[in-house]
Amino acid sequence: MSPTVDELRNEIRVETGRYERVESTAFTKEALAAICEAVGYEIGPGSLPPKPDMRAGILFSIGELDENDPEEASGAFRKAQLEAIAEALREE
């Protein structure tokens, strides 16, 4: 049986040194920043960029997007994207 979206999010959180969440929630900016770091996407110093920028950077870094385009990552990650991120983190 394939993992649920919540299980995938929690796996990704744990792999990036964050904590599991009991309730179903999307990633916070801080969690996205941790994922960026884990997949090698540089977000630079200072304040955190907008969520779509970080989501696009993550997907671009793992080969799920051909371009680092925030327009392509304006909403929460889809299940297939979460599976790809979890797989990329397992390979690290």
pLDDT of 32 reads 96
Task: Kindly tell me if the per-residue pLDDT of 13 is higher than 80.
Answer: yes
Closest listed residue to residue 29, CA positions, set 40, 39, 18: 18
Q: Is the separation of the CB atoms in 85 and 77 below 8 Å?
A: yes
pLDDT of 28 reads 93
pLDDT of 80 reads 96
Measured from the Cβ of residue 75, the count of other Cβ atoms closer than 10 Å reads 10
Q: What would the pLDDT profile of 18-69 be if each residue is shown by its tens digit?
A: 888 878 788 999 999 999 999 999 998 889 999 999 999 999 999 999 999 9
Q: Is the separation of the CB atoms in 58 and 76 below 8 Å?
A: no
pLDDT of 22 reads 77
- Degrees, nearest 5: CA angle 55-25-8: 70
Q: What would the pLDDT profile of 70-90 be if each residue is shown by its tens digit?
A: 999 999 999 999 999 999 999
